[in-house]
Structure 1
């Protein structure tokens, strides 16, 4: 039996993420910012199917607007596949079908999830047999959030956010996600952030965040939620502030801009409260999704 006959295609699922804490240092000479962040993978997933092909190609479907997602070689999933082929000297190609459910340009790392899923799928499809550590090293060359999409769960990220240490998180945290049709450019948010000059030289995740995660205590975590990119994101998109206020006065323990935005994440005390908040937001005219975390990283399904 040939490899193509044994593995005609491989399906992999990778999660979106929420930064429950994010602190950024000043911009370094290389243009990047040192970060200290606490990631949590949540139950909103990207699914990809990788199939054998002579070349490299991509198609995208899903319930969200994907018109702004590139299908050429600039797509992170295709870049991931080509990088793996180059690294392992694999001579064939792949066709990748992506079903997108994570908001595009929404601060939840949907593109990074695609890249992580592509690395795992192509590694299995091609039988290249890389370790998770090797896949994460390749992922870090594609984007700072890719290694976490591979890992999943809950983790502390330092450096550019790609140096990861797993964090103990007990129980299940309930979130209500409010996406926004108008994406927000991460570089634009960081440029707005750079206009302030009070960022710490060495950012760190405070012990309060770790204690809340370890205890599985939603109320404690709500008190510790923080995102240095929230203020610059709201300056660029002041319309989001009203949605944050609405959620926090209608049942959320706390709300936060997810990553660089514009997606908003509201922490709820339990599933019943999350569902009630979702319904309230929908009655007010906002799209709202209930998700939970932590969940697994990219894996074959």
Structure 2
């Protein structure tokens, strides 16, 4: 069973204060983009995973720390499946890059194992499993464009017309999401005169720009509260954002917890030009577009 799931960008990410349990409530606008994770599930006696891909996969765990393996075990328990599964992960989303590649693996594994074992699990049940696995996994199931609240897993589809072109600059050295959140909390704890933060909320201008299919308006509204923390940990990200905007990007922002930087382009042609300039400057670059569909079966043999 071959299932494909997309990576994501957070085109807007409002992060609330840290809660007593150490987590943060957020308000996010996700967009699924055309960088994909492919999961091929084959019956086996136990649970095994192998990983290949067009990106650096050296840091991907091959045991139960891997979200895809955990997803497969979850479906097996639900279906009283006596056997295991071999999961072959073919990764196209940068690892530890803030684009939800591991979450896409988990979403694809849920769909693949349910289909492989003819489980017939409902979308609601798969979403429940996805939310247990991680905040970004439900969106990898859904795809498209969506507003995420709570921990990011309470999703409401959002209308996005047309196509948005993004140019991504990847980084071989990932950033730990918990480390970036901890840095955000540290920065926010410094004395300042800003008012207390309320419940996280999405700026209506983001949703209006998406509905209009207007990249210029979207560029004026994108925001990521984790960006300051990621750039404090990696100051070179600020320089990179300035470089991309200087080359003609409408806007640049850190994707999720980073260190991938996403540049919004005015069109497909503008994105191609931007990509060429960034490649010439020595960067590793991907040109993707969104929104695209969530996890879906590609083939069954």
TM-score by length of 1: 0.96
Bigger mean CA offset, 126-135 vs 165-174: 126-135
The residue matched to 2:277 in structure 1 has which SS?
A: helix
Secondary structure at the residue paired with 1:73? Answer: coil
Distance between the aligned counterparts of 1:134 and 1:260, measured in 2?
A: 28
Residue by residue, what CA displacement relative to the aligned partner does 1:106-151 show, whole Å, maximum 9, x if unpaired?
A: 0000000000000000000001111111101100000000000000
Q: Give distance in 2, aligned partners of 1:145 and 1:165.
A: 13
Give the secondary-structure state (helix, strand or coil) at the position aligned to 1:64: coil
* Unaligned runs of at least 5 residues, structure 2: none
Distance 2:20 2:47 in 1: 35
Partner of 2:6: 15
Distance across 1 between alignment mates of 2:55 and 2:270: 26
Cα separation, 2, equivalents of 1:182 and 1:71:
19
Q: Tell me which stretches of 4 or more aligned residues in structure 1 moved more than 4 Å.
A: none
Looking at structure 1, the residues matched to 224 and 169 of structure 2 have their Cα atoms a distance apart, in angstroms, of 17
Tell me which residue corresponds to 2:76: 85
Give the SS at the match of 2:218. helix
1:136-215 equivalences under 5 Å are: 136-195=127-186, 196-197=188-189, 200-215=197-212
Q: Find the aligned partners of 1:61 and 1:86 in 2 and give their Cα distance.
A: 27
Determine whether 1:43 maps to 2:34.
yes
Q: Give yes or no for the alignment of 1:288 onto 2:285.
A: yes
Structure 2: distance between partners of 1:45 and 1:132: 21
1:201 Cα deviation after fit = 2.7
Q: Does 1:61 align with 2:79?
A: no
Residue matched to 1:72: 63
- Please give the alpha-carbon distance, in whole angstroms, between the structure 2 residues aligned to 1:287 and 1:59: 25
- Of 266, 270, 293, 2:267 maps to 270
| Structure 1 residue 251, shift from structure 2 partner | 1.0
CA distance in 2, matches of 1:209, 1:133: 27
8 Å CA contact 1:183–1:262 kept in 2: the answer is yes
Q: Tell me how far apart the structure 2 counterparts of residues 137 and 216 of structure 1 sit (CA, whole Å).
A: 31
Give 1:73 shift: 1.1
Is contact 1:42–1:292 with CA below 8 Å preserved after alignment? Answer: yes
What are the equivalent positions in structure 2 for 1:193-272 lying under 5 Å apart? 193-195=184-186, 196-197=188-189, 200-272=197-269
